[in-house]
Amino acid sequence: MSTITLLTDFGSKDAYVGVMKGVILSVNSSAKIIDISHAVDPQDLIEAAYLIQSCYRYFPEHTVHIVVVDPGVGSDRAIVALEMMGHVFLSPNNGVLTLLMDQGEIDAMVRVENTRFFLNPVSQTFHGRDIFAPVGAHISTGIDIHRLGPPLDPQDLVSLDIPKPHISNGDELIGTIVSIDGFGNCISNIHGDCLKKFAGKDTEKGFEIKTGKNIIPRLSQRYADVAPESPLAIFGSFGYLELALNCGNAGHSLNIKKGDTVTLKLKKRRY
């Protein structure tokens, strides 16, 4: 168990991520540290929840995933270590693991309290360095997470009120933009499986996609289906509907923001 991933909202300007890696390597010099992202918008728990839920499966079993998007740092919020699906997740108990709970059964979960595995002293503003990094490193060496603290009841795991796609009275599938990536692709919470349940056998009719004043007349299979600088709707590599601009930034050009509504409407068949 020597692979560790990091997912934070720390950005790349400051030394925070580098220092966390230094602490990890001081505990486990053979650890393989992989950056999932450090560009989560500050304190955006929903964006982080979608990212960890989408990304963990691409890493080998026994990977330790450290998620530090932590607006409650220094408060009495708990830190949780969670074993499920052959992986270990280490995060604040603030709801960032909400979407993972739909993925499988929990094998073990503890509240991280054993200061033996912390740095000393512990800063009130940088638990990423002083708690998450050393604890994650110790887990990567193979220690049983039960040594970190007492069991935590799944009912005590904080759950975010994350918006889910729903069907309107007008038979439209309505979702929300939850993330905008570095290319300006606007990623919704509408998964391909959700679309199949909504449309059933009618998917061949096609869809009209709308957000704000933007109307996209069809789903695309690839960016090249439209001309450069033209908008498109496409299911991205993680399976979620994205609104994009071929060779452009959809977020800027189409004035799309996180939290905006996305509507899919089945087109009527013409005979």
Question: Is the sign of the CA dihedral 18, 21, 22, 23 positive or negative?
Answer: positive
> Looking at residue 202, what is its pLDDT?
60
126, 221: one domain? no
Q: How many CB atoms lie within 10 A of CB 82?
A: 24
**23 in a structural domain:** yes
- 12 and 136 in a common domain: yes
Could you identify the residue written with the tokens 């499986």? 193
CATH number at residue 34: 3.40.50.10790
Are both 11 and 113 inside the same structural domain? yes
**83 DSSP assignment:** E
CATH, residue 174: 2.40.30.90
Strand partners, 78: none
Phi/psi of residue 147, nearest 5 degrees: -75, -10
pLDDT computed for residue 168 by the predictor:
85
Strand-pairing partners, residue 232, are: 244
Q: How many domains does the chain have?
A: 2
How far apart are alpha carbons 84 and 100 in whole angstroms?
9
Rounded to the nearest angstrom, the gap between the alpha carbon of residue 188 and the centroid of all alpha carbons in its chain is 12
Q: State whether 224 and 100 are in the same domain.
A: no
CA distance 21 to 83: 22
Per-residue model confidence (pLDDT) at position 197: 85
The first and second tokens of residue 227, run together, are 């001309």
- 21 and 106 inside one domain: yes
Provide the whole-model pTM: 0.91
**Distance between the two ends of the chain, CA-based, in angstroms?**
59
Q: Which helix (H) or strand (E) holds 235?
A: strand 231-235
Q: Which domain holds residue 110?
A: 3-156
Nearest CA to 210 among 256, 247, 164? 256
Residues 149, 176 within the same domain: no
Residues 48, 71, single domain; the answer is yes
The identity of residue 54, as a single letter, is S
The pLDDT value recorded for residue 266 is: 84
How many angstroms separate the CA atoms of 264 and 196, rounded? 12
**In a shared domain, residues 151 and 195:** no
CA pair distance 161, 104, nearest whole angstrom: 19
Residue where a domain stops, chosen among 128, 156, 184:
156
- Give the HSE-up count for residue 215: Cα atoms under 13 Å, Cβ half-sphere: 5
d(CA 174, CA 167): 6
Is residue 271, in this structure, part of any structural domain at all? no
In a domain, 98, yes or no: yes
Residue-by-residue pLDDT tens, the chain, 271 positions: 689 999 999 999 999 999 999 999 999 999 999 999 999 999 999 999 999 999 999 999 999 999 999 998 988 899 999 999 999 999 999 999 999 988 889 999 999 999 999 999 999 999 999 999 999 999 999 999 999 999 999 999 999 999 889 988 768 999 999 999 999 999 999 999 898 888 875 655 588 999 999 999 999 999 999 999 999 999 999 999 999 999 999 999 999 999 999 999 987 654 4
Residues 103 and 58 in one domain: yes
